Amino acid sequence: MSMKREISAGGVVFKTVRSQGSGDSQVLLVSAGSLRDRSKLHWKFPKGHIEGEETSEQAALREVEEETGVKAKVTGKLAFSRYTYPFKGEKIFKIVSYFIMEFESGEPKPQVGEIEDVKWFTVDEALKMLSFSADKSLLKKATELRK
């Protein structure tokens, strides 16, 4: 099996919601069908391929806006996620750079044809919703780093 490399970037986007005098954090997740089974939805962080001369930070911001309709700003580097997955008889080795981001503007609106749904969740809700344990770890780390 040949191995192809894919380099992507994404963001863990936070928003502070002021309610009853306390600031509660929410995090933005997208749901999309898996490559193997479109009917099976996964909740995850917005991410996508780095294009042309983009830096991973530029790609992450662009992908967040394209997939979610939300503009954000990068406030820190988070981590790299590395994994392999099978696609059309090939093994793909994927590296994703994740950034911690803060919400700037926009209403969540899923990218047509790519994303099923976009929603803000509390961190606790997001930890339950995220489909992959690696993403749960990323969220825990992002929450710590953000403080």
Confidence (pLDDT) at 110:
95
pTM value surpassing 0.75: yes
Confidence (pLDDT) at 21:
55
Confidence (pLDDT) at 23:
63
Confidence (pLDDT) at 24:
85
pLDDT in tens, the chain (147 residues): 568 999 999 999 999 987 655 568 999 999 998 666 666 789 999 999 999 999 999 999 999 999 999 999 999 999 998 888 888 889 999 999 999 999 999 999 999 988 999 999 999 999 999 999 999 999 999 999 997
As separate numbers, helices (DSSP H) first and strands (DSSP E) second, the chain gives 3, 7
The whole-angstrom separation of Cα 17 and Cα 40 is 31
Superfamily of the domain at 3-146: Nucleoside Triphosphate Pyrophosphohydrolase (3.90.79.10)
Confidence (pLDDT) at 1:
56
